Chains A and B, each alone.
Chain A
Amino acid sequence: MPRTIIEKLWDSHVVHESAGAPTLLFIDLHLVHEVTSPQAFQGLRERGLKVRRPDLTIATADHSIPTSDRSLPILDKIALKQLDQLETNCTEFGIRCLGVHSSQQGIVHVIGPELGLTQPGMTVVCGDSHTATHGAFGALAFGIGTSEVEQVLATQCVLQRQSKTFQVQVEGRLGTGVSAKDIILALIARIGIGGGTGSVFEYTGSAIRALGMDERMTVCNMSIEGGSRAGLIAPDDTTFEYLAGRPHAPKGAGWDAAIARWKQLPTDEGAAYDRCIGIDADSLEPMITYGTNPGMGVSINAPLPEPSQVADPMARDSITKALAYMGLEGGKPLVGHPIDVVFIGSCTNSRISDLRTAAGLLKGRKVSDKVRVMVVPGSQEVKRQAIAEGLPEIFRAAGCEWREPGCSMCIAMNGDQLSPGQYSVSTSNRNFEGRQGKGGRTFLASPLTAAASAIMGVVTDVRTLL
């Protein structure tokens, strides 16, 4: 029977099945960070367990670390304790830790791919909902809770129930000023943030094939914002070219064998999905969110919804509450709305191509003097590459801050945050109330829209600057 890539990945990782219990699934790569792991390591200690496969486990510090000068002491004592705990746990349990001072430190979903650890055909987990990012390589990658982190540390397995398959077919060509971020924001705006619950997305179609790996990661990254724990893209030559020569990618004869294996992964002709949706890339416009969940998004020039025109009372209340929190009126577009901060970074959009795109627009221009612009590379490797290409000079000359790698203002745990009432245009993935700082108000958008808005000091359609 023809199978989707999602089913092939599932089938090849089944360790044990018994009636009445979920399937025991083997995990090929376990990524660990400081925030969701301490209680899991403590659980191992209390039970006297070891880490079963330290060779398939890697840790980094990303969520709570400062993005200021790393040679300075960390002032937040609670964050410092958590970061120290990660190093202690990794030493005690024999796990490699790319910690605060590592030359390979970075956002967990940036470093897995760039080290070549994330490969097609794998199962990848992390105590982080944006683990879906790794799906860009044709891996089944999903976020887990801390109890499951403990389970994977102890057994290299998790218990899972098979998800439904959901094809997202994106055909056509993206227009000027429209990018991968706009594809995923458009999908979420259409299906809502619960739309993919219980499913795994497979992104297919000519517009997906045309994306580079960084852009594919942007799309897969936000699968969770569409309600799906995982989203993936079948591997192809773009995938293989990205991986070739990466530190942990197979070498020599192993590489050829891997390619042969990986070429078996794409969905078979005639395989059926539980659900399909089509997106027309030609008609996509730059997208922006206006509300307090990532499904509250519109084309940049479109008017915001009027709560009075929403029939369902609880849905109407949600939009009314969101617009009140955001200080916005229904019926008007966001374009021209003043902003205070622009954040270019996060596991969604902090890779080298994102920084190149933003720098391309900012080169020779100045950001508005009313706007603080933070550019936060996703990893030390992205930072080195950006320096080699002269990008920090472009950002600094334009009036942006160029910071150290980490999650930064995406999750605002480390002091990089909005003040109450401030507006940001952010390339990150969540616009929940207070996500970027208590009382802060977030418009999610692409790096191009973020850079354009930084220049103009207001929400801007980047196409007016191109």
Chain B
Amino acid sequence: MKKFAVDVAVRQFAKKGEDTFGDAVKVVRTPDSTIIVVSDGLGSGVKANVLATLTVEIACGLFQGNLSVHEIMETLIATLPVCKWRNIAYSTFCAVRIYDTGQVAIAQYDSPGAVHISRHGHAQIVKGEDFEVCGKPLQEAHFRMLSGDMLLLYSDGIAYAGVGEGLSMGWQEEGILSYVSEVLPVSAGDVTELSDLVADKALSYWKGNPGDDGTVLAAKYRRANIATLLTGPPSDRTLVSKMIKDFVSQKGTRIVCGGTTSHLVADYLNEELQMDERFLDSDLPPSAKLLGIDLVTEGILTLSRAAQYLKSGIPEGRQDAATVLLDFLLAADGIRFMVGTARNPAHQNISLPDSVSLRRRVVEDLSALLVERGKETELVYY
């Protein structure tokens, strides 16, 4: 399971009078990295959007195929349609690859300087080496991010915010750097907060009438949140102690789903289970509290309901053990399911709803839905 994760937030606005963004952004997650490309297409409106979209699609695709910047540039020049007025094919780009190890590679073509913000709050423009590809000047930089570090990418509509509206040279890299340093404590390291703050400041310099399309992208490299969910006793009762030991030794969020299982864990920890009576009026069994464990719920009904909520959404205002379980699962980057495969004889005899079958099927269903939501999952059977 991945030990590190990359959070990405994007905020965009269109040039005044346009409905379509002339900038484009694409983020691709590969097994060992996150690829981010921001592009500013020539002009504005639909034409700019087409150029920028083509650029991010091509650059992302080729980066995934581990092609060099040289080959990417050649392909872009050969592919982008030529503007009949200006007689050039053009869009800028800033392509970033953040590997799970923290290694970062950035290639920039005519785009304003990316900002690297250290986890201690020091912000600086990424300095790269200049080189030429197909007659075009590019910058390439390689460095390493530590857990908690952030990157801020932005387009010209941010760098030149305010031109013609009172700022003769626009906001400029230095202005952005000092603003980022000032608002970092406000954003509390949250990528959405930071990208919103920067975009709103740019819009205020434009006095609400942007003279160019604007894009702000904030990315944060951080340690992954792992949740471990234990459900069901093992099929071989002699494995109980091993299973519980494996579970309690896990770091991160620990969740137990199952009545019998929760008693096994409580006995092992020598702690008392306390029912949480908040959800007694819901149509699901209530959750429980156990010192040292983040959440305890009943098993298959709650797991099935959590899967159902992922498929069809949580009804307005609904709060029950499954919504609490989902809060924990969706806050994690990776979820390890430790599944005991003992059969509860009652499950074969009483009329359970159709959605409830064997624990294993329910967990696999939930796991697949979480993968669809971008989570990494791992299933271990006992």
Q: Answer whether A and B are interacting partners.
A: no
On A, residues with C-beta under 8 Å from B are none
